[in-house]
Amino acid sequence: MTAGLVAAAAIGAAYLEAKTLISEDAYMIRGAMTNGLDFFYNAWKGRVQYWYAFEDAVKKYPNNPAIVYPKPIEGKKPSGDSYDDLFDVETYTYQQLYDEVLKMSHMLRNKYGVTANDTIALNAMNSPLFIIVWFAIWNLGATPAFINYNLADKSLLHCLKVGHASIMFVDTEVEGNVRPSIGEIKSEAKCDTVFMDDEFLAAYAASPAYRAPDYERHPEQKDYDTAVLIYTSGTTGLPKPAIMSWKKAKLMSSLYGHSIRLKNNGVVYSAMPLYHSTAAILGCLPCLNRGAAYAPGRKFSTTTFWTQAKLTNATHIQYVGETCRYLINAPPSPDEKSHHIQVAFGNGMRRDIWVKFKERFNIPAIGEFYAATEGPLGTNNFQQGEIGIGAMGRYGKLLAAILATRQTIVPVDPEDETELWRDPETGFCRVAQSDEPGEFIQKIPNPEKVHETFQGYLGNDKATNSKIMRDVFKKGDAYYRTGDLVRLNDEQCYYFVDRLGDTFRWKSENVSTSEVEEHVGASDPNIEQVVCVGVKVPEHEGRAGFAVVKLKDASVKPNLDQIAEYSLKQLPKYAVPLFIKFVDEIERTGNNKVQKVKYKNQKMPHEAGESPIYWLKGNKYVELDAEDWASLGSGKIKL
């Protein structure tokens, strides 16, 4: 009887915690206080930079693994059912990584003239070299700018110009996107290009160590000053350099590591690209200030994902929503349960695959978060058991009450989703009711000094100011607009609903509708107008691009091959419209606004008597029929 009562009490306590999250709130508040005190004390001492946290970890954990890299072996084929032989695992301890960073620092300073006032672009795939160059830039007091290695031509040139990069270091695996533009990069962007080839690596290996004196790392910097530039696409089309502050790079990354239970013996395996804040700020940095190891996968592969996680002894894996669905849809892997993973964390895990993912791959906990590269705040849901499935954030009543003072949800105008609904009498917004979708907004505590909370985009005041809404609940207040439709239920669970306005998410990237409209419109002189929206595709995360095109002369057959070729050259692959439709007129509302909502809900494939819809099959647009649509929806055709 006694044992039964004890068991019943334990079950009751576990259920109570799952419902109230009292212990979880206490854990997070304790972590926020500990990490916050450490951060602000170091900031007061002129040590706001992450570099010092890394050095402290080196002193405390010199022999702990810092980087565990499953290096692909070129030309190697699997033996039988095992993929182990495809990788050579390279390990750097904290002391070894630090030594390599100091050697790289010497070469960057003495051979390439990098100074504390420079912005240095890094255009590389995942590898230890990426992290070594990154931290060497920080050691020298310079600012790194992470370039999406898929960019080329106009987009690449734009990133270098607006980021004011003086040098770009390029991985030889991605140099094909760079070499055709190297002349313009030098003449227009005033940026030198250095390819990290065998000669570069030999010079680096032979370099002595150099640690820059503390005064070169800008001890005057504040927590809101720039740690790194990470490019994000938005409503202006071309990528914008979002300012990642030291507060986010150091404090928020540390607190996030706390939230996902990352210990000093943990290993995070991530195949997400390091040019993204997801991998760099929430994958790598939480490791390297606490003695844990970061295991960067060269690139994502459903075939070898679990093998790499096993070989690196990962305790944590990182995902974006598409990653999880790809893995769920993949054939069984011999290593999908032969691992030590305790937590899968990331953003975009959808409710319909959440439980399947945990059960199939034997993963006890999901750490789902919500954040934007440039945004001041985020949400987190460390989900175990059965409560909180599908939520992007979940808190107990205490922490929910605290967070409600900094972020909330407000209804949008039903006739124009880009505008917040305002009371016609007061002119102010209202807080959304339970389960009522609305835009997620985050408070700017000092409206007179917005930059202290939201740094925005380098050199782009217009884009920065467009994210700030004033006079929301009272005269003079200010809030950051996330551009995302979210709902909050009575259990304090936040759920993502949709993306608002002129961007949509596809392949874990923000796609700018204006950029797509501009380039598709320029692909054929007979195009009069293009409207781009994102449409749902069954069994796929986010929304795929759908271009609605009006021709100047409808009697002239559109050149689909030309449109595809031009778009694939000018746009990143993820931004090229998957679907395209030609119409006689672009439908508008009574006040002459394009009815984008109607196009977002376009029935696929087209019904009898309607204009055909074409889809991008390979590199060509072909008519979408019922069979192709079914194959897309079932995953038989990979997008």
Cα 143 from Cα 121, distance rounded (Å): 9
Cα 485 from Cα 478, distance rounded (Å): 19
Q: Which of 369, 476, 417 is nearest to 594 (CA)?
A: 417
**pLDDT tens profile 59-84:** 999 999 999 999 999 888 887 778 99
Q: Are 502 and 513 in contact (CB under 8 A)?
A: yes
Q: Are 85 and 73 in contact (CB under 8 A)?
A: yes
- Alpha carbon 529 to its chain centroid, in Å, reads 31
Cα 319 from Cα 408, distance rounded (Å): 26
Cα 145 from Cα 241, distance rounded (Å): 8
- Where in the chain are all domains bearing CATH 3.30.300.30? 503-634
Per-residue pLDDT, 78: 81
Per-residue pLDDT, 20: 77
Taking domain 21-371, whether its CATH number is 3.40.50.12780 is answered by yes
Superfamily of 503-634 according to CATH: ANL, C-terminal domain (3.30.300.30)
Q: Which of 569, 519, 579, 509 is nearest to 544 (CA)?
A: 579
Per-residue pLDDT, 235: 37
Q: Could you tell me the sign of the dihedral formed by the alpha carbons of 590, 591, 596, 597, in that order?
A: negative
Element (H, E) at 159: helix 153-163
Cα 311 from Cα 230, distance rounded (Å): 30
What long-range pairs does 361-369 form, CB within 8 A, spacing at least 24?
361/306, 361/327, 361/336, 361/337, 362/337, 363/317, 365/261, 367/259, 367/260, 367/343, 368/392, 368/393, 369/256, 369/282, 369/345, 369/393
- Where in the chain are all domains bearing CATH 3.40.50.12780? 21-371
What's the mean pLDDT when you consider all of the chain? 91
Output b/e per residue, 596-610; b: 16+ Cβ within 10 A.
Answer: beebeebebbbeeee
Q: Which of 363, 312, 154, 155 is nearest to 239 (CA)?
A: 155
The amino acid that residue 266 corresponds to is: G
| Bond prior to 605 in cis (omega within 30° of 0) | yes
Per-residue pLDDT, 591: 44
Write down the residue that tokens 């449409």 correspond to.
535
- CB proximity list for 609: less than 8 A, separation 6 or greater: none
Q: Are 158 and 238 in contact (CB under 8 A)?
A: yes
Per-residue pLDDT, 586: 86
- Where in the chain are all domains bearing CATH 2.30.38.10? 404-499
Model pTM above 0.85: no
Six-digit token pair at 311?
């070989």
Cα 285 from Cα 256, distance rounded (Å): 10
Q: 404-499 in CATH: which number?
A: 2.30.38.10
**pLDDT tens profile 252-271:** 999 999 999 999 999 999 99
**pLDDT tens profile 545-577:** 999 999 989 899 999 999 999 999 888 889 999
List, for the chain, all residue ranges whose pLDDT scores fall below the cut of 50: 1, 5-10, 234-236, 590-591
Cα 187 from Cα 208, distance rounded (Å): 33
